[in-house]
Amino acid sequence: MSYFSQLSQNVTISSGNSSTNNVNAGVTWSGVSASTLSVAGIQVTLKADQNCTVYIDQSPDGLNWDIVDSFDYWSTTNNFSTTVHAVNSYFRVRVKNISLVNTQTFRLQSCLCPIIEPLPRSVDAEGFLKVCVERTDGMFGGQQIISPMGANKVAIPVLLAGSPFIGTTLDPNYWVSGATNGGTIIQSGGSISLNTNTTANGAINLNSVRIARYVASSSNYCRQQVRIPSNNTTTGTWKGRWGAYDTDNGYFFELNQANGTSTTILRLVCRKTASDANYVDSGSFNGNRGDVYVLDNNIHTYEIYWTNKSAWFLIDDIIIHKFTGLTSPLVDTPSLKIGAQSINAGNNNANNIINIRVVSISRLGGTSIIPTSKYQSGTTAGLILKYGAGNLQRLIVGAVPTSGSVVTLYDGLTTGGTVLASFTFLFPSGGNFSPVSLDFADTQFSTGLLLVIATQSANVTVIYD
């Protein structure tokens, strides 16, 4: 006895989601709602002579398009086909002409398939599956790209600001604090507590001494492990802040409790020119946790990543919100300090506490930057070598005609800045001066770099970035 069975697949064209009509520049062609019941896959092909974006939308009711897959079509590639699993009851296809020219060729076809196989549509010349990785998309929307020579670009984190809280004394070489009306910082057990204490309007703030320098083609990020007061332990008018900021600029998380309320609002802030006008409150977040973040008083990891264009706020490795400066930068300078505050107001005398275990700012990128140099001969009362942050690498003194030349380098734009180094070059009467090269091992400066040559002439070359 023999058995014979035949399996056939009834693939149907969705005419309402297929078209040969040309699409004008900037216009989106939209298909109609079509049922996907009894089918497993949606197959879409496109041939056009202009760049487009293809959207495959799916809906449970044909009205609310909850699932959207988007694909780039590049006319130079001239090859677009995709299969998407049908996971909802209805679908439609949209194609936007993203070029500045109307299409002269446009052939779109959409088919519904009862059975699909999620494999590439062809094999290579040796019969293997034609599969490759052209890029890796990250959680921030960026792409990891392989270079033409096959190299993979990797960013190594480099610590720029911050230090561990060891012992019971806040290290003044790394941190500066300011208190109002009895506010205090208590350091113990590898963490610090910012306490408003019980005097009315008590406040305490913390900043890093160092400014975390921002360099082009890299991004900086601030990472803090913070434990905040729970909703039931903050009373009166109070604000808590932590992030990468000072009085003028930066990014930070803020807890804001108004007098007479029982809940604390989480706010994300971009400060620019001492103004906090650019912010978003819980309930309007656009990240991967939804628009609301529920607070608790457990320890959490808070991070802020920023570039010249955007800033991402994360809690426990999940993006909460993204800011984008579409017409102007979000801050005046992306080179920022670490900051934290606990502030009572409105005669509030409750001791509101923020606990911080660790805090730092790092750069996603290396420390090697091609340096520049400046040669100065004679004396100078003050030559500005750079505005803003940088690294001092080397000082070369080629000649000192007369003993007693004083060479001083300042972190600043005037002689009122911080002295980085000062040398007096002496040699015996009638002797000869031998050129010297002094290595500064990438000593950081924050405000600027100023060179002064005083008392006697010298020929000096300063190497810095």
Condensed to tens digits (0 to 9), the pLDDT of residues 406-429 reads: 999 999 999 999 999 999 988 876
Residue 52's pLDDT is: 93
Query: Which residue pairs from 140-145 have beta carbons closer than 8 angstroms and sit at least 24 positions apart in sequence?
Result: 140/305, 140/312, 140/319
Q: What percent of the chain has pLDDT over 90?
A: 62
Count CA within 13 A, CB hemisphere, residue 393: 13
pLDDT in tens, 288-303: 888 888 888 889 999 9
Averaged pLDDT for residues 78-91: 88
Residue 124's pLDDT is: 64
* C-alpha to C-alpha distances, 89 to 38, 57, 146, 421, nearest whole angstrom: 9, 11, 39, 72
- Give CA angle at 364 (360, 370), nearest 5°: 115
| DSSP code for 181 | T
As beta bridge partners, residue 421 has 409
Residue 120's pLDDT is: 60
Q: Are 180 and 202 contacting, i.e. CB atoms less than 8 angstroms apart?
A: yes
pLDDT in tens, 221-271: 999 999 987 544 556 788 999 999 999 999 999 988 765 455 678 999 999
Backbone dihedral region of 442: left (phi > 0), alpha (psi from -120 to 50 degrees) or beta?
left
Give the confidence band of 94 by pLDDT, cuts at 50, 70, 90.
very high
Query: In whole angstroms, what is the distance from residue 289 CA to residue 305 CA?
Result: 17
CATH of 159-364, one of 3.40.50.12780, 2.60.120.200, 2.40.110.10, 3.40.50.300: 2.60.120.200
| Secondary structure class of 17 (helix, strand, coil) | helix
Strands 237-245 and 300-306: unpaired
Residue 231's pLDDT is: 45
Query: In whole angstroms, what is the distance from residue 51 CA to residue 192 CA?
Result: 55
Q: Is 152 exposed, middle or buried (0-12, 13-18, 19+ CB in 10 A)?
A: exposed
Query: In whole angstroms, what is the distance from residue 444 CA to residue 421 CA?
Result: 12
CA 85 and chain centroid, separation: 34
In terms of pTM, does the model score above 0.75? no
Q: Are 308 and 334 contacting, i.e. CB atoms less than 8 angstroms apart?
A: yes
Count CA within 13 A, CB hemisphere, residue 177: 23
Residue 232's pLDDT is: 41
For residues 84 and 124, the model is more confident at: 84
Averaged pLDDT for residues 74-95: 88
Q: Is the pLDDT of residue 2 over 60?
A: no
Write the class of the CATH domain 372-464.
Answer: mainly beta
Q: Which two tokens stand for residue 107?
A: 């052939």
| Domain limits, the chain | 12-113, 159-364, 372-464
Q: Is 400 exposed, middle or buried (0-12, 13-18, 19+ CB in 10 A)?
A: buried
Q: Is the pLDDT of residue 12 over 50?
A: yes
| Secondary structure class of 271 (helix, strand, coil) | strand
Give the confidence band of 38 by pLDDT, cuts at 50, 70, 90.
confident
Residue 414's pLDDT is: 95
Query: In whole angstroms, what is the distance from residue 77 CA to residue 90 CA?
Result: 30
- How much is the mean pLDDT over the chain? 87
Least confident of 47-56, 150-159, 318-327: 150-159
Query: In whole angstroms, what is the distance from residue 116 CA to residue 82 CA?
Result: 12
E strands in 6-51 = 12-13, 28-30, 34-35, 41-48
Query: In whole angstroms, what is the distance from residue 134 CA to residue 371 CA?
Result: 34
| Secondary structure class of 426 (helix, strand, coil) | coil
Sequence-distant (6+) residues with CB within 8 A of 347 are 200, 201, 236
Least confident of 49-63, 160-174, 363-377: 363-377
Q: Is 403 exposed, middle or buried (0-12, 13-18, 19+ CB in 10 A)?
A: middle
Compute φ and ψ for 310, nearest 5 degrees: -135, 165
- The single residue listed with the structure tokens 């070489």 is 173
Whether 12-113 shares its CATH topology with 372-464 is answered: yes
Q: Is the pLDDT of residue 361 over 90?
A: yes
Is CATH 2.60.120.380 the right assignment for the domain spanning 12-113?
yes
Query: In whole angstroms, what is the distance from residue 345 CA to residue 239 CA?
Result: 8
Query: In whole angstroms, what is the distance from residue 448 CA to residue 194 CA?
Result: 31
Please tell me which of 59-68, 139-148, 253-262 the model is most confident about, judged by mean pLDDT: 59-68
- Which residue type sits at 112? L
| Secondary structure class of 16 (helix, strand, coil) | helix
